[in-house]
Amino acid sequence: MSHSSFYEPRSKVTVVGSGNWGSVAAKLIASNTVRLSSFDDEVRMWVFEEKLPSGEKLTDVINRTNENVKYLPGIKLGKNVVADPDVESAEGISLVKGMEVKKEGPCMISTLISKTLGINCSVLMGANIANEIALEKFSEATVGYSKNKEAAEKWVQLFGTPYFIVSAVQDVEGVEMCGTLKNIVAIAAGFVDGMEMGNNTKAAIMRIGLKEMIKFSKMLFPSVKDSTFFESCGVADLITTCLGGRNRKVADAYAKNQGKRSFDQLEAELLNGQKLQGVLTAKEVYEVLSDRGWVEQFPLFSTVHAISIGRLPPSAIVELGDSRSANKQVGNSTL
Amino acid sequence: MSHSSFYEPRSKVTVVGSGNWGSVAAKLIASNTVRLSSFDDEVRMWVFEEKLPSGEKLTDVINRTNENVKYLPGIKLGKNVVADPDVESAEGISLVKGMEVKKEGPCMISTLISKTLGINCSVLMGANIANEIALEKFSEATVGYSKNKEAAEKWVQLFGTPYFIVSAVQDVEGVEMCGTLKNIVAIAAGFVDGMEMGNNTKAAIMRIGLKEMIKFSKMLFPSVKDSTFFESCGVADLITTCLGGRNRKVADAYAKNQGKRSFDQLEAELLNGQKLQGVLTAKEVYEVLSDRGWVEQFPLFSTVHAISIGRLPPSAIVELGDSRSANKQVGNSTL
């Protein structure tokens, strides 16, 4: 929100980023600013300028057609959305899922934004497949905030629609960790799918993954709350990601090929060069676990990493039962 | 366990029931009694006697072939399983999923057993598709107990195997409620599938359902714990049931037919005359909600009921956002 004081009437909203999800966010928000008197109708969407094959600038086309023809074609954004290359802010919210997990702990995107811009930064996460929300299919999201409850309530007002239900929780770290760690669990779920072990096993693996997500988040940030994982950012996003999603898909293919083709090969074939978040996150999380002597407490996270680098076969994902030995195997190796 | 004193060495175990799931339970337990010194090797499986088309008695064939040829063909039960028509007990565990929910509250199966036989009764629930466990695919279960922790630990020892991980929680009501209420959520998930609304929406509906499961259980039994819903009986069983399962399947067909064919018709066609647990449970739960003035607090449960009796269209399941009016609609009708 780009006003010098957040609580002044008629705050102006700028969406920073204009990809698939950023454009949907602008559409959601624009439908609300026109009916909420505390916001200026106009929503600025910051667009990284590029030239289209036609020779026109992307911002010009968006402003002429009211569609992001490149990243969200066929969807009207709302006439009050204006593409713009400038940013200024006072109160921020990050919609970026995923963050770097370094040895010192995770590098939270919201913290980065907060420090870089010198502003408060909340996050919005949840079971959010941008294209489904663009088509106004029912779904939910969670706003995580740290201190400013009133700002969080404004975000809820701004994003919420009858088909997009938003709730706020005071747990920015918990909400943001969910968005990252779920990808490790999706890799595990993909292995189970690839081995055709059935829904029973898949549900068990998802549950164990959820428990490790909670435990890891709480060990890094003692303020993280269990209840956050019952929100959309927790269990619902986990389910969506383990049912569809590219992490699950590539891990499925990996297990079907019995590990004979590497993740790198499969990524290149199946994802048009996009990188798999889950494999990277598993590696980064493993480094934290290893560094802090926590490996044995996280058999699923550790095993996903060991499988993804070819140290263990995909079938190891369902041998967590004998977790002591499984952990040992991972713990003693030089992963 | 059929010994006069539970803590005597070499307790004898009897499995009461010999259907699909009962037979798998006998197989699991028999693999453990042979290696645990505190149990008699022999596991009695109480079989409701019937004559097979060959003219032989079912018990005779089970004891000759070591297979329950009628309800779990092709799976060896273990040589120490003996089919038997007699029962006697000292400490019990119920594997029955589902219970009657009456206006006075739910009639828990474990309570029934406890009162009828004058014994303690724990429950075992979880993401347990009997045939998948029979094939030794990895899965998990939860033992819910009320007071006797040592008995619970014995059940964990008895049922647990490297591919069937069992944990115990002191929350018999919570565990048993999970097994019933998940079927209402599966109906809702089936509606979403039938309308082809995507994984996003499905995950959101499952999450809202999970929250209502927790809330309803706690309102009926204040001792119920949030953490129980992170166990296999909670989130994992919910996932399995919403991915596969007959409640989901029939609700999917109902929505695909836009409610033009009744649940009764679809049940008859798709389930060979078996009854849909979820529709009955939704009705029973609605009666409790209505009786206690709780309808507005449970929009998903109420809406599933309203849809299943044709009062609302299947699309109403994703109109919980405007929950006040949705509830009103249900609350004011004479369902």
A248 interfaces chain B, CB cutoff of 8 Å: no
Give the model's pLDDT for residue B8: 52
- For residue B227, the chain A residues in CB contact (below 8 A) are 226
Q: Is B39 annotated to bind ligand? A: no
Average per-residue pLDDT in chain B? 86
**Claim to verify: residue B85 and residue B184 sit in the same structural domain:** no
**Claim to verify: residue B80 and residue B185 sit in the same structural domain:** no
> Under a CB-based contact definition with an 8 Å cutoff, are residues A241 and A225 in contact?
no
Nearest CA in chain A to B133: A200
pLDDT in tens, B179-236: 999 999 999 999 999 999 999 999 999 999 999 999 999 999 999 999 999 999 999 9
Q: How many residues does chain B have?
A: 335
Q: How many residues does chain A have?
A: 335
Interface mutation target, options B193, B232, B239, chain A, most CBs of A under 10 Å: B239
Work out the percent of chain B whose per-residue pLDDT is above 90: 53
B232 interfaces chain A, CB cutoff of 8 Å: yes
Structural domain ending residue among the three candidates B41, B72, B89: B89
Give the model's pLDDT for residue B177: 95
- Of the candidates B34, B42, B308, B69, the one whose C-alpha atom is nearest the C-alpha of residue B190 is B308
- The neighbouring-strand residues paired with B82 are B44
> Under a CB-based contact definition with an 8 Å cutoff, are residues A217 and A177 in contact?
yes
> Under a CB-based contact definition with an 8 Å cutoff, are residues B192 and A243 in contact?
no
Cα dihedral A101→A103→A105→A107 (10° resolution): -50
pLDDT at B329 over 90: no
Lowest mean pLDDT among A264-268, B31-35, B128-132: B128-132
Instruction: Tell me if residue A311 falls in helix, strand or coil.
Output: coil
The per-residue b/e assignment along A232-242, b for 16 or more CB within 10 angstroms, e otherwise, is bbbbbbbbbbb
Residue B77 lies in a domain: yes
Q: Which amino acid is residue B261, in one-letter code? A: R
Give the model's pLDDT for residue A249: 94
pLDDT in tens, B244-290: 888 999 999 999 998 788 888 898 888 776 678 899 999 999 999 99
**Claim to verify: residue B197 and residue B298 sit in the same structural domain:** yes
CB contact under 8 A, B199 and A243: yes
Burial class for A89, CB neighbours closer than 10 Å (0-12, 13-18, 19+): middle
Give the model's pLDDT for residue B295: 96
Residue B215 lies in a domain: yes
Active site residue: B12, B27, B137, B182, which one?
A: B182
Tell me what the mean pLDDT of segment B33-58 comes to: 88
pLDDT at B327 over 50: no
pLDDT at A274 over 80: no
Nearest CA in chain A to B239: A203
Query: How far off is chain B from A225, nearest CA to CA, in Å?
Result: 12
A220 interfaces chain B, CB cutoff of 8 Å: no
CA gap B126, A77 in Å, rounded: 45
CA gap B209, A292 in Å, rounded: 37
pLDDT in tens, B145-185: 998 898 899 889 888 888 899 999 999 999 999 999 999 99
Residue B158 lies in a domain: no
What is the count of structural domains for chain B?
Answer: 2
**Claim to verify: residue B208 and residue B81 sit in the same structural domain:** no
- Of the candidates A225, A226, A216, A222, the one whose C-alpha atom is nearest the C-alpha of residue A292 is A216
**Claim to verify: residue B223 and residue B326 sit in the same structural domain:** yes
Residue B165 lies in a domain: no
A196 interfaces chain B, CB cutoff of 8 Å: no
> Under a CB-based contact definition with an 8 Å cutoff, are residues A225 and A168 in contact?
no
CATH number of the structural domain spanning residue A46: 3.40.50.720
Instruction: Tell me if residue B86 falls in helix, strand or coil.
Output: coil
Structural domain ending residue among the three candidates B89, B113, B139: B89
CATH number of the structural domain spanning residue A279: 1.10.1040.10
- For residue B129, the chain A residues in CB contact (below 8 A) are 198-200
**Claim to verify: residue A313 and residue A191 sit in the same structural domain:** yes
Residue B128 lies in a domain: no
Nearest CB neighbour to B127, from listed A132, A137, A204? A204
Scan residues 54-83 of B and list those with Cβ closer than 8 Å to A.
none
pLDDT in tens, A124-180: 999 887 788 888 889 999 999 998 898 899 889 888 888 899 999 999 999 999 999
Give the model's pLDDT for residue A130: 79
Average per-residue pLDDT in chain A? 86
CA gap B152, B174 in Å, rounded: 15
pLDDT at A88 over 90: no
Nearest CA in chain A to B167: A321
> Under a CB-based contact definition with an 8 Å cutoff, are residues A159 and A124 in contact?
yes
The band of A325, judged by pLDDT with boundaries at 50, 70 and 90, is very low
Which distant-in-sequence residues (6+ apart) come within 8 Å of B147 by Cβ? B120, B170
A27 is catalytic: no
Helical (H) or strand (E) element with A14 = strand A11-16
Query: How far off is chain B from A125, nearest CA to CA, in Å?
Result: 13
Nearest CB neighbour to A203, from listed B127, B200, B318? B127
**Claim to verify: residue A220 and residue A322 sit in the same structural domain:** yes
| Domain of residue A278, residue span | 180-332
Structural domain ending residue among the three candidates A62, A89, A116: A89
Residue B281 lies in a domain: yes
Question: In whole angstroms, what separates CA B317 from the centre of its chain?
Answer: 24
**Claim to verify: residue A79 and residue A189 sit in the same structural domain:** no
Scan residues 198-217 of A and list those with Cβ closer than 8 Å to B.
198-208, 210-211, 214
pLDDT in tens, A114-129: 877 777 889 999 988 7
Residue B294 lies in a domain: yes
Residue A72 lies in a domain: yes
